[in-house]
Amino acid sequence: MTQHSLIKGPHIGLLGISLGADICLCMASFLKNVSATVSINGSGFITNKAIYYKENSVPQLGHDLRRVKVAFSGLLDIVDIRNDIVGGCENPCMIPIEKAQGPILFIVGQDDHNWRSEVYAQIASERLQAHGKEKPQIISYPGTGHYIEPPYFPMCPASLHTLLDKPVIWGGEPRAHSKAQVDAWKQILTFFTKHLGPFPKL
In a domain, 189, yes or no: yes
Q: Which of 22, 77, 111, 112 is catalytic?
A: 112
Q: In this predicted model, which residue has the larger pLDDT, 5 or 13?
A: 13
Q: Which of 29, 117, 146, 177 is catalytic?
A: 146
Number of domains in the chain: 1
pTM of the model: 0.93
In a domain, 163, yes or no: no
In a domain, 167, yes or no: no
Clarify whether 146 is annotated catalytic. yes
pLDDT for the residue 86: 72
Range of the domain at 44: 12-62+88-151+172-196
In a domain, 24, yes or no: yes
In a domain, 56, yes or no: yes
In a domain, 177, yes or no: yes
CATH code of residue 47 = 3.40.50.1820
In a domain, 162, yes or no: no
Q: Mean pLDDT in the chain?
A: 92
Q: What is the pLDDT of residues 134-151, one digit of tens each?
A: 999 999 999 999 999 999
pLDDT for the residue 201: 65
Average pLDDT over residues 74-89: 86
Pairing status of strand 104-109 against strand 34-40 = parallel
pLDDT for the residue 72: 84
pLDDT for the residue 80: 92
Q: Which of 18, 35, 39, 43 is catalytic?
A: 18
In a domain, 159, yes or no: no
CA–CA separation, 66 and 146 (whole Å): 22
One-letter-per-residue 3-state SS of the chain: CCCCCCCCCCCEEEEEECHHHHHHHHHHHHCCCEEEEEEECCCCECCCCCEEECCEEECCCCECHHHCEECCCCCEECCCCECCCCCHHHCCCECCHHHCCCCEEEEEECCCCCCCHHHHHHHHHHHHHHCCCCCCEEEEECCCCCCCCCCCCCCCCEEEECCCCEEEECCCCHHHHHHHHHHHHHHHHHHHHHHHCCCCCC
On the question of pLDDT at 174 being above 90, the answer is yes
Clarify whether 18 is annotated catalytic. yes
Contact residues for 43 (Cβ-Cβ < 8 A; gap 6+): 21, 22, 61, 82, 115, 117, 120
Clarify whether 22 is annotated catalytic. no
